[in-house]
Amino acid sequence: MKVGIALFPSKQLQDQANSFRMRYDSHYAMIPPHITLKETFDVKEEELPTLVAMLREIAKKAQPALIDIYKVDSFYPQSNTIFFKIREHESLTFLYDQLHSEPFSQNPKYGFIPHLTIGQELSDDEHADVVGRLKMRNFEFQEVINRMQLLYQLENGSWSVYETFHLGEDA
């Protein structure tokens, strides 16, 4: 099965992200607004308990994640994905590094650019228009997220949360 690991922000931030996603994000109905820590990877169903135990250990060693949004940006020209850009912070880098070192698969293609996607799979024209407008607006928002989530993907492409892990707690 396909799984992924993500942070889900507060309702307030999810609602704000959705106000853009409903118009610009083709994945709007597939998953709530999120910050990806590890992209989709394959796990056999019988390996899930081992994965959960590993994630629990990582979460215990982690700190709650500081989400410091400071602007809208885009991955253009790599892709037309538009996102809230999140300032790098060791609480995020720690999680990313742990989830991309042995025994996890690495991610040789990209470095870690913390972000919350608000648009994707737009035409070049629409992308340019939306990014142009949003870059002129002020987006600043800070919050701390104290849980990460393991999700699996259903056959219709939508995502279902399998487990939550508290960051930095023993509970």
The residues annotated as belonging to the active site are 34, 115
- Pick the stretch among 68-76, 98-106, 129-137, 145-153 that binds its own copies (CB under 8 A): 145-153
In angstroms, give the least distance from the CB of 71 to its own copies. 23
When asked if residue 158 is in the footprint of its own copies (CB under 8 A), the reply is yes
When asked if residue 8 is in the footprint of its own copies (CB under 8 A), the reply is yes
Residues in 76-105 at the binding interface with its own copies, rule: CB under 8 A: none
Radius of gyration of the chain (CA): 16
Which is closer to its own copies, CB of 14 or CB of 107?
A: 14
**Range 35-58 burial, b when 16+ CB lie within 10 A, else e:** bbbbeeeeeeeeebeebeeebeeb
Could you give phi then psi for residue 101, rounded to 5 degrees? Answer: -125, 165
- What angle separates helix 90-98 from helix 48-61, to the nearest 10 degrees? 150
Q: Which of 135, 32, 141 is nearest to 76 (CA)?
A: 135
When asked if residue 121 is in the footprint of its own copies (CB under 8 A), the reply is no
When asked if residue 154 is in the footprint of its own copies (CB under 8 A), the reply is yes
Binding mask 13-42 for its own copies (x = CB under 8 A): -xx--x---x------x--x----------
Cβ-count burial of 130 within 10 angstroms (0-12 exposed, 13-18 middle, 19+ buried)? Answer: buried
CA distance 56 to 159: 20
When asked if residue 46 is in the footprint of its own copies (CB under 8 A), the reply is no
Residues that bind its own copies (CB under 8 A): 1, 8, 11, 14-15, 18, 22, 29, 32, 45, 56, 147, 149, 152, 154-156, 158-164, 171
